[in-house]
Chain A
Amino acid sequence: MRAGRLWLAVVGLILAAAGLWAQPPERAERPHPLEKLRRLAPEERERVLQNMPPERRQMIEERLERWERMAPRRKKRLEGSLTNFQQMKPEQQQALRKLAKRFQETMPEDKRMEGRRALTMLRRLAPEARRRVLNGPRMRDRFNEQERELLREMAENMPD
């Protein structure tokens, strides 16, 4: 009886100590990892990126730099787009990534700027109006059928 109580006390102490050690880290509102990466001090960013393959590291650094140099208004608009994009379902995000890749690979370079402009306009239209514009004479003059189909899919899938 006496020994049982003593063992109980010992086990209790051990469990309490283990419980203290195993306490989960405090939950707090965390900034987005990209924001954290941007806020890192240069030496800390260097520490984080130092073990990466050089190409990957260079790409990250270039993109961060481009982001930093961006006009505030555009930066704000793109942040909004990114937030909306991240709220999409993973399969929708993946579909849009594939469409964007197709756009870069299949749209001729001289048509890309016009394609981006058309995309901005198409995204603002209702589906029926969008279909009419895409099948209209001006669009048919500038883009072939595959390009117009790509623009339609992108306009439907892109976040606000």
Chain B
Amino acid sequence: MKNTKDNACPMQKNEGELLLSYCAGSLAAERVAEVERHVGVCPECRSWVEGQQTVWQALEAWEVEPVSADFEAALFARIAREEKAAGWQRWREAWRRLLPGGLDWRVAAPAGAIALLLVVGLAVENPFRREQAEAMVKLEAREIEKAERALEDLEMLRQLEPLEEETRL
């Protein structure tokens, strides 16, 4: 406490820690008297100490609000939501990389709408599937005709060959 003994101002000597310890009440008793003597004559240090004491008093008066029972659950849910949002953000970034300059919704929205309409249209009335189904029906009909013709031909061949017992002779 050479500074205070010599009436040197701790603020001017860049020894703010001394005043800080005084305000915090952690300064030794014999030095407290020295600081108080200096503060009594130094308006700058008095002002600093008063300001500091106001802060300490406010901190001592501050009461922590109680948290709700589901505080932690709500907190983790919020973290998860924000991580999910971050995933969506990454997806958007990927699109931005694919489309330099970002996704222009004035173009993307009509393009997406047309694609959606086409997909829904194809799902409801898929011409390819209808052709396939018709082909299967036709194939079935053709197959019946083929089977019928084969039966006719078998009948013809049967009528042209001798009976079993005759063939063996």
Contact = CB atoms under 8 A, between A and B. Distances in A.
* A and B interact: yes
B116 to A, nearest CB: 10
Contacts of A5: 98-99
Given A10-B111, A25-B132, A63-B155, A48 B144 contact: yes
B112 A17 contact: no
Interface string B127-169: 0110010001000101110111011111111111110101100
B94 interface: no
B42 to A, nearest CB: 68
B78 to A, nearest CB: 34
A63 B151 contact: yes
Contacts of A77: 161, 167
Given A82-B157, A97-B156, A120 B162 contact: yes
B14 to A, nearest CB: 59
Contacts of A134: none
Contacts of B155: 63, 66
Contacts of A41: none
B99 A17 contact: no
B153 A119 contact: no
B11 interface: no
Given A14-B119, A17-B122, A60-B148, A71 B164 contact: yes
Contacts of B28: none
A8 to B, nearest CB: 10
Question: Interface majority SS on A: helix, strand, loop or mixed?
Answer: helix
A37 interface: yes
Contacts of B111: 3, 6-7, 10
A67 B143 contact: no
B159 A82 contact: no
Nearest to B119: A17
A21 to B, nearest CB: 5
Contacts of B132: 22, 24-25
Given A17-B122, A64-B151, A97-B156, A113 B107 contact: no
Contact of B144 (A1, A37, A113): A37
Interface residues of B, number: 43
Interface residues of A, number: 49
A140 to B, nearest CB: 21
Interface in A78-106: 78, 81-82, 85-86, 93, 96-97, 100, 103-104
Interface centre among A73, A78, A93 (most CB of B within 10 A): A78
A74 interface: yes
B146 A6 contact: no
B147 A37 contact: yes
A50 to B, nearest CB: 12
A2 interface: yes
A120 B168 CA distance: 12
Closest 6 CB pairs of A and B: A22-B128, A33-B143, A34-B150, A33-B146, A33-B147, A37-B147
